[in-house]
Structure formats: structure tokens, C-alpha cells
């Protein structure tokens, strides 16, 4: 079974629309699909903007993992196959099979360990492709999927150039190499030339206190540093100047890096590291499969206190993205002439 995560750089960038497109192609390829979310999806109107949202309409035989209350509120007729031990604020997660077509509401596992459990359940039920819809500003649990589709657009920033630069930073993070060997579990670790090791409890570098404790350590003979948890790029940027040239820094994963700070800052950090021949890699990788771009954004009207649909120039957005993102396919789902998810899907998944 293949599982894919769908994330967005901001709310309303089109991750569900992208997921729906992939779902459609999966059906056409005859794959048995399963669906879950690490957030809450399937509502008709956006909770914040009040604008309409795309919804998941599933077909008989397709599987879902969703909270009990969501399943009860889903118009689709479903047969419950199993109740899992995963709890959410909307009840325990049920695995169900759609028996009559209809819309579904999704609230699935919200942490990595729970998502793994759900993916295993789907796999045991012969699902061939699982879609994991992301959540607002949350990606880290998606590390246990086989690849990520990332949506960006005007809802993130109304300047096409800035969207593209941001996307390029993201691409750079996802292209970091995988670290060789295994790392100490959960703690910040320092490896020295003589084979000596120093462990700093905590696993994350997100405070000046931790940075001070690291800075107090002898760094001259340090050869490797492992920061498996969260790592703020601003703090790493302060650390790099005191590190010896050529040191290896192993970070957690691209998703943990993004959760820890602005991708643009990571570009700056990677440049700093490069200047000192410092290699930064990640303990876990996740393929970034493609970007989708969306010129739509919700524009707030102060006059009447509501959000209205608004758009930036779609062609310019796509062009800027193509100028900045060099290794990852880019699609505008609403402009199929510019390249289609379908052809990508046929090339990469169906085969």
C-alpha cells in the first residue's frame, strides 16, 4: 500500500482539491482507496472564512478512518469494520467501508504514532492507496507516509514571487540527504574525534537556554551533532559560526524543520552551513512529490466583516514557481494545459 500526505503552506491553498484530484486518478487506475485526515475535513464551509470548501464524496468499497462523531454525521452510508484505540476530541477513530456513495466528514489521527496504526489497519484491509489529508499548520505526523503533495498559493501570500521563493526553500529542505547510520533516540548528541560522545537531554533546540548549554561545550573537536527533535533555524544560525568546519549536523526530518521555523530561514542556515563546509542532513526523509499552486485567497472585507473569494494572476504565479522550483513538478489544477496531475499519476503511481 502507498500512502500520501497532502499539506498546504497555509489555509485555503488547495490541499483538499489536490487530494480530490489524486483520489479521482486513483479510482480511474482501479486502486482501492482509503482516506483519513490528521485534522478535520469535509465540512461544507470553512470554519474561519465561512467560504465554501471542497468536500470528499466517496464511492462504495472505499475505506475511511474517522472519529465516531464525524462518521455519524457523514451523509455517506458506511459499514464500520473496526474501532481503533485512537482517541480524538470527536471520539475514537473508526475504520469504515463506504457502502453507498456520499459525502464524508473526516477527523483522523493527529499524531504520527496514531497515523501509523491507522495506515497499518488500511493495509490489512487491502487498501492500495491511502490519502492522508493534512491540517492547518501541521505536517509532522505525515512523515510516516510515502510522499507529500504540497499546495501553495495566494492564501499564503498574495505576492507570486514570495510564494515561489518560499516554495523553493521548502524544496531545498525536502531534498536534504538522509543521514547515514542511526542516531541516539530522542536526545541532542555530540560526537567528538576521539570517539567520545556527549548527550544533552531534551532532543530539541528551540530556546536560548539550550543554545547556551550547547555553546558551553567544547566544540573544536566535534565531528557530528544530532538534533533529532525540533530545531529553530535562528538558533542553529547562531551555533554554526562556533562550530568547526566540516562538522555533520543531523536534524530530525524535513517536516520537523518546517515545524520549527520559516523555510526561508532554513535557506539562510543552509547557506551558512555550506560556507563552512558543514553538511546538514536528516534522520528521516520524505519525498516531496509535487507542488500545486492556487491563485485563490479569501479577502477580508472590513466593511461587512466577511470573507470574499479573490485571486492573483494564475499565469504569473505558475511562471514564478517554475523559475524558482527546479526539481519538483508544479501543477495548477485549474489550468490543466500547463501539465496535469493525471499524466504525473500515470507515470509515477499507476505503473
Partner 1 sequence: MKKVLLSPLDPVHDNAVKLIQRKLRDRDYATILMPPGTTVEEIVDTAIHEKPDAILISRTLGYQVAETLGRLVDLAEAAGIRETTRIGVGGMAITREVGAELGFDATFVGELKMTELLSFLENRKIEFLDGDDAAAENQGKPDITAGYTYQFKDSEIASLLDTIAEQALHWASTRTSDGIKRAQVRQQMLETDTEAEIAQLRNDYTKLSGTDIHSFYTQGTLPSGVRWLETKEVQNLPSLLETKPEKHKLRHTQAKPLFFVQYGTGCPVMDIVHIKASEAWGADGVLHFDPSWNAQQEGLMEGLLSHEHDGTILTYENLKLIREYIGENTLWDVRGHRGLNTAETQILGHAAGAGLFKINIPYGSTGGGTDPARLAVDGIYSLHLAAQYGIPFDIPGNDELSGVPPQKTFAGILIMMAIGLKLGARPIPKPLMCYSPYMAMHGDMDDNMIDMNTAKLAVWQTIVDTPVWPGEPIGFMTHSPERVQSATTTAAHAALATSLGMDAATIASTDEAYSKGPISLQARVDTLRSVRDLLRFTGSTHFQATPQAQVLMQELREGIVNTLKKIAQRGDFVQSIYHGDLGSPEDGIYPGRVGQGTVQNL
Residue of the chain from 2, 32, 39, 147 that contacts partner 1 (CB under 8 A): 39
Residue 170 backbone phi and psi in degrees, to 5 = -60, -45
Task: Give the cell for residue 162.
Answer: 514570495
Closest separation in Å from C-beta 97 to partner 1: 22
Nearer to partner 1, 139 or 289 (CB): 139
Grid cell 492547518 is found at: 136
Can residue 48 be called a binding residue for partner 1 (CB under 8 A)? yes
End-to-end alpha carbon distance in the chain? 14
Which of 24, 112, 146, 346 touches partner 1 (CB under 8 A)? 112
Q: How far apart are CA 257 and CA 129, in angstroms?
A: 27
Nearer to partner 1, 209 or 220 (CB): 209
Complex with partner 1: residue 132 or 318, whichever CB lies closer: 132
From the list 118, 119, 127, 120, the residue with the least C-alpha distance to 98 is 127
202 contributes a contact to partner 1 by CB under 8 A? yes
The reply to whether 131 sits near partner 1 by the rule CB under 8 A is no
Hey, which residues between 85 and 104 contact partner 1 (CB under 8 A)? 87-90
What pairing do the DSSP bridges indicate for beta strands 63-67 and 40-41?
Answer: unpaired
Considering only residues 207 to 266 of the shown chain, the ones binding partner 1 according to CB under 8 A are 207, 209-210, 228-230, 232, 252, 255-256, 259-260
Mask of contacts with partner 1, 55-84, x by CB under 8 A?
Answer: ------------x-----------------
| 131, 147 contact by CB (below 8 A) | no
Q: Cα–Cα distance between 113 and 86 in angstroms, integer? A: 10
Number of residues that bind partner 1 (CB under 8 A): 44
CA–CA gap between residue 85 and residue 105 (Å, rounded): 19
The reply to whether 320 sits near partner 1 by the rule CB under 8 A is no
Cβ–Cβ < 8 Å for 311, 295: yes
All three cell numbers of 344: 504525473
Contacts of residue 330, defined as CB under 8 A and 6 or more positions apart, other chains included, come to 290, 291, 292, 293, 318, 321, 322, 339
Binding mask 134-153 for partner 1 (x = CB under 8 A): -xxxxxxx------------
Q: Which is nearer to partner 1, 152 or 232 (CB)?
A: 232
Residue 193 interacts with partner 1 (CB under 8 A): yes or no? no
We find the least distance from the C-beta atom of residue 223 to partner 1, in angstroms, to be: 24
Q: Least Å distance between CB 203 and partner 1? A: 6
| 43 belongs to the binding site for partner 1 (CB under 8 A) | yes
For 265, residues 6+ apart whose C-beta sits below 8 A from its C-beta are 233, 234, 237
- The distance of closest approach from Cβ of residue 242 to partner 1 in the complex, given in angstroms and rounded to an integer, is 21
> Which residues 5-24 are close enough to bind partner 1 by CB under 8 A?
10-11
**Closer CB to partner 1, residue 124 or residue 207?**
207
- Using CA atoms, how far residue 167 sits from 7, 86, 160, 263, 314, in Å, is 13, 33, 11, 8, 16
Stretch that binds partner 1, among 145-153, 165-173, 189-197, 205-213 (CB under 8 A): 205-213
Q: Which residue, 208, 196, 202, 265, is CA-closest to 237?
A: 265
Residues that bind partner 1 (CB under 8 A): 10-11, 38-40, 43, 47-48, 67, 87-90, 107, 110-113, 135-141, 186, 201-204, 206-207, 209-210, 228-230, 232, 252, 255-256, 259-260, 300
Amino acid at each position: 500500500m502507498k500512502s500520501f500526505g497532502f499539506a498546504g503552506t497555509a489555509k485555503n491553498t488547495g490541499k483538499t482539491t489536490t487530494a480530490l484530484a489524486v483520489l479521482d486518478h486513483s479510482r480511474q487506475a482501479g486502486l482501492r482507496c482509503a482516506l483519513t485526515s490528521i485534522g478535520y475535513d469535509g465540512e461544507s464551509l470553512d470554519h474561519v472564512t465561512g467560504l465554501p470548501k471542497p468536500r470528499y464524496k466517496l464511492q462504495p468499497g472505499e475505506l475511511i478512518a474517522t472519529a465516531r462523531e464525524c462518521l455519524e454525521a457523514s451523509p455517506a452510508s458506511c459499514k464500520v469494520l473496526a474501532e481503533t484505540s485512537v482517541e480524538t476530541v470527536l471520539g475514537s477513530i473508526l475504520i469504515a467501508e463506504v457502502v453507498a456513495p456520499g459525502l464524508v466528514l473526516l477527523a483522523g489521527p493527529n499524531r504520527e504514532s496514531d497515523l501509523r496504526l491507522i495506515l497499518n489497519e488500511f493495509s490489512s484491509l487491502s487498501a492500495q492507496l491511502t490519502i492522508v489529508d493534512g491540517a492547518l499548520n501541521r505536517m509532522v505526523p505525515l512523515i510516516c507516509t510515502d510522499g507529500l503533495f504540497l499546495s501553495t498559493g495566494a492564501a499564503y501570500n498574495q505576492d507570486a514571487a514570495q510564494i515561489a521563493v518560499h516554495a523553493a526553500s521548502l524544496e531545498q529542505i525536502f531534498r536534504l540527504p538522509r543521514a547515514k547510520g542511526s542516531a541516539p533516540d530522542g536526545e541532542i548528541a555530540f560526537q567528538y574525534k576521539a570517539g567520545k560522545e556527549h548527550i544533552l537531554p531534551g532532543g530539541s533546540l528551540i530556546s536560548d537556554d539550550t543554545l547556551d548549554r550547547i555553546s558551553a561545550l567544547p566544540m573544536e573537536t566535534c565531528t557530528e551533532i544530532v538534533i533529532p527533535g525540533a530545531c529553530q533555524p535562528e538558533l542553529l544560525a547562531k551555533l554554526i559560526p562556533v562550530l568547526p568546519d566540516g562538522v555533520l549536523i543531523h536534524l530530525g526530518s524535513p517536516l520537523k524543520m518546517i515545524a520549527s521555523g520559516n523555510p526561508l530561514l532554513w535557506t539562510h542556515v543552509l547557506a551558512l552551513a555550506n560556507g563552512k563546509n558543514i553538511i546538514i542532513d536528516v534522520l528521516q526523509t520524505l519525498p516531496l512529490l509535487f507542488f500545486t499552486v492556487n491563485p485563490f485567497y479569501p479577502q477580508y472585507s472590513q466593511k461587512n466583516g466577511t470573507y470574499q473569494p479573490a485571486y492573483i494572476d494564475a499565469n504569473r504565479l505558475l511562471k514564478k514557481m517554475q523559475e524558482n522550483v527546479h526539481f519538483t513538478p508544479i501543477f495548477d489544477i485549474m489550468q490543466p494545459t500547463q501539465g496535469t496531475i493525471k499524466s504525473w499519476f500515470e507515470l509515477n503511481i499507476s505503473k
